[in-house]
Amino acid sequence: MVKHINTDNFEEEVIKAEGKVLVDFFATWCGPCTFEIPELKAYYAKHKDKIEIISIACNERNSEDWSNYIIQNGLPWTNLLNNEKDVDKNASVAYAVSAFPTKYILSPDKVVLAKFVGVDKELYTKLDELIK
């Protein structure tokens, strides 16, 4: 099932996630995004009881390619598609995503605790610090 996301339902999807959340804005055509999947999957497998991940694919050609990418890469967390053409309702525009990947760490109250742009090993250091 393809779940499309925009600013109308973004908050709802994030708020229903429990505890700390890592929101990952990415694209299937983004080399660095694909490069970091194995490390992100390993981290999630080890800490999925302490943090939720929500991946939001942006600017995709179509939902079928996106869905196939999720299956081929075995992404076990919540995956959403942000192909909103209306700039005022595009979640990646609303959350100031200027490059992929962009990750936000949110508190249980959904306050932004940290933002990481690009592949950054400090992400895991910060996550470790926050989930203790």
Q: What is the residue-wise DSSP string for 62-117?
A: -HHHHHHHHHHHT--SEEEEE---SGGG-HHHHTT--SSSEEEEE-TT--EEEEEE
Question: What whole-number distance in Å separates Cα of residue 84 and Cα of residue 70?
Answer: 19
Which pTM does this prediction carry? Answer: 0.89
Low-confidence ranges of the chain (pLDDT < 50): 1
pLDDT tens, residue by residue, 57-84: 998 888 899 999 999 999 999 998 887 7
Closest CA to 21 of 116, 110, 130: 110
pLDDT of residue 1: 46
